[in-house]
Amino acid sequence: MEEHEHRFSLMIILSIILAFILTFVSMALYNSSGAAQLDLSRPGYKDVRSQVVNDDNFQDYSSSGSINQAAINEFVSMYHQQAVKTESVDAFGGDPLSTDALGLVPTSN
């Protein structure tokens, strides 16, 4: 009887260990794959969640068809339009983490 209880306890321990291992592996994959950084459903992103811009407006160039001057000009025009939009934002520019910006050093005045 006591032997059966011990086996049951052992099964519970092994199940918990297995659950930990699987959770650890899945969390490691979630973090290392970059999914965590794109997951705005995480707590703390509530305010910015609604500001995600859908890129449905981004025009797709057709990969089939003949190449002629008109097709090249069409692509150049589409590409230029998107390139200007893309480069218009200085993403991750500035220095919001500078010691001055964060108030981590005494002000000079």
Partner 1 sequence: MRITNKLLIFGFVTVALISGLAFLPVFAQNTAMTDQQVQLIRDNCVSTKNTLNQLHSSDALLRVNRGQIYESMSTKLMEKFNSRVSSNGLSNSNLVLVANNYSTALDTFRADYIIYEKQLTLSMNIDCSKQPIVFYDAVALARNERSQVHADVLKLNQLIDQYQASVSQFGQDYQTAMQGVKQ
Query: How far is the C-alpha of 38 from the C-alpha of 45, rounded, in Å?
Result: 11
Query: CB 49 → partner 1: shortest distance, Å?
Result: 8
Which residue in 40, 42, 36 sits closest to 51, CA to CA? 40
Query: CB 108 → partner 1: shortest distance, Å?
Result: 13
Contact set with partner 1 (CB under 8 A): 3, 6-7, 9-10, 13, 16-17, 20, 24, 31-32, 34, 36-38, 40, 44-45, 47-48, 51-53, 55, 58-67, 69, 71-73, 75-76, 78-80, 82-83, 85-87, 89-93, 95-98, 101-106
Query: CB 69 → partner 1: shortest distance, Å?
Result: 7
Half-sphere exposure of 76 (CA within 13 A, CB side): 7
Q: Is residue 32 within 8 Å of 24, Cβ to Cβ?
A: no
